[in-house]
Amino acid sequence: PPVTATTTAWSSSKPPLLRFLHTCYADFLPEAAGAVADYIPELGKADPAHFGISLATLDGHVYEVGDTGVPFTIQSMSKPFVFALALDTLGAERVESVIGVEPSGDPFNSIRLNAENHPFNAMVNAGAIACSGLLHADKGDGAFDYIRQALGRFAGRELDVDEAVYASESATGDRNRAIGYLLRTNSVIIENVPAVLDVYFRQCSILVTARDTAVMAATLANRGINPLTEEQVVTPYAIARTLSVMTSSGMYDYAGEWIYRVGIPAKSGVGGGILAALPARLGLGSYSPKLDKHGNSVRGIKVCETLSAHYDLHIL
Ligand code: DON
């Protein structure tokens, strides 16, 4: 059965990986830079002191330090999973007919589309809203629950929605609505824009912990098989395409810097999460809500940089 190593205090009897995570935690806990996102007002209530790091290996071990059980909203970290789900549900041809795979070099909320008037990729808001639209066109009113259940299979447990964050984003999400209508005038979304936005806002409000996101990342790293439940959640085909887009675009207008410095496919969310999936090796999930100007968690970036350097994990 899977073994969970849960820690509360330092001890020299801990395995080296856990000792490394403890050192990271202690080194970056005092980090003062960054600010909690508040453009979605409810996110502004997050506790900036929270910091959790979880690492899941493909043999089913989960290493944890800090606030790894604190729930927070998945936000943009939902995007790779929904993209993978769309590829498997609708076929690559349908998905690729309306969503590109080039990095945009723009911030996550940019309204700029590519030369074909399609979203640049599925990691920016426009591409994710297009993905939600494709699934809504196929599943109708059942689209959100279809997504929620799939994300639950990645995490290995049923996931809920933070209704307050959902309501807060729905009340203030006019920029995303504008993107939705722009996508409809370009026939990327073919029907009810408010219903599609509702799916998108709800998927962003799914509650996860750092531990969940480590397991979700490990499932990406394990060709779609959850290392704890051993369920094949999506196909290896969808995983390879998803990790490719995460590699080139997962960190938005920091993506080039990220792959240069860290070299591990990753995705961030404005809730404060970063997940990183190193193929055939491990999944990392970190939670710390203070973000830099790109919308990426400041402590999370430091953890990933340090992990990559310490264990020489850069994929190239
Ligand atoms: O659409 C939005 O603005 C949010 N629901 C998600 C954005 C996000 O997480 C960007 N990530 N770093």
Report whether 270 belongs to an annotated binding site: yes
For residue 13, what pLDDT band results from cuts at 50, 70 and 90? low
- What percentage of the chain carries pLDDT values higher than 70? 96
Lowest mean pLDDT among 5-19, 97-111, 147-161, 200-214: 5-19
Q: How far is residue 67's CA from residue 52's CA, in Å, rounded to a whole number? A: 4
Report whether 176 belongs to an annotated binding site: yes
- Residue 136 DSSP code: H
Query: What spacing in Å lies between the alpha carbon of 91 and ligand 1's midpoint?
Result: 25
- Report long-range pairs for 89-98 (Cβ below 8 Å, ≥24 apart): 89/135, 89/138, 89/139, 89/146, 90/134, 90/135, 90/138, 92/237, 92/241, 94/134, 95/122, 95/131, 95/134, 98/130, 98/134, 98/187, 98/188
Query: What spacing in Å lies between the alpha carbon of 17 and ligand 1's midpoint?
Result: 31
Structural contact between residues 157 and 146, judged by C-beta atoms closer than 8 angstroms: no
pTM of the model: 0.95
At 218, the amino acid letter reads A
Q: For 241-292, write each residue's pLDDT tens digit.
A: 999 999 999 998 999 999 999 999 999 999 999 999 999 999 999 999 999 9
Check pLDDT > 60 for residue 4. Answer: no
Give the residue among 51, 19, 70 at the shortest CA–CA distance from 307. Answer: 19
Give the residue among 118, 19, 98, 35 at the shortest CA–CA distance from 290. Answer: 35
Q: Residue 35's pLDDT is what?
A: 97
Residue nearest to atom 3 of ligand 1 (CA): 109
Ligand 1 atom closest to 294 (CA): 12
The total of other beta-carbon atoms located within 10 Å of residue 145's CB is: 12
Q: Residue 191's pLDDT is what?
A: 81
Domains along the chain with CATH numbers: 4-75+206-311 (3.40.710.10), 79-204 (3.40.710.10)
Q: Residue 12's pLDDT is what?
A: 57
Q: Residue 1's pLDDT is what?
A: 42
pLDDT, averaged across the chain: 95
For residue 9, what pLDDT band results from cuts at 50, 70 and 90? very low
Q: Residue 150's pLDDT is what?
A: 98
Number of H helices, E strands in the chain: 12, 10
Q: How far is residue 21's CA from residue 41's CA, in Å, rounded to a whole number? A: 32
Phi, psi for residue 282 in degrees, rounded to 5: -165, 165
* Any ligand 1 atom below 6 A from CB of 222: no
Q: For 117-149, write each residue's pLDDT tens digit.
A: 999 999 999 999 999 999 999 999 999 999 999
* Any ligand 1 atom below 6 A from CB of 76: yes
Q: For 150-164, write each residue's pLDDT tens digit.
A: 999 999 999 999 999
ipTM (interface predicted TM):
0.98
* Beta bridge pairs of residue 36: 290
**Sequential DSSP letters for 213-263:** HHHHHHHHHTTTB-TTT--B-S-HHHHHHHHHHHHHHTTGGGHHHHHHHT-
Length of the chain counted residue by residue:
316
Going by their DSSP bridges, the two strands 4-6 and 62-66 should be labelled as parallel
Ligand 1 atom closest to 176 (CA): 1
Ligand 1 atom closest to 109 (CA): 3
Q: How far is residue 157's CA from residue 72's CA, in Å, rounded to a whole number? A: 15
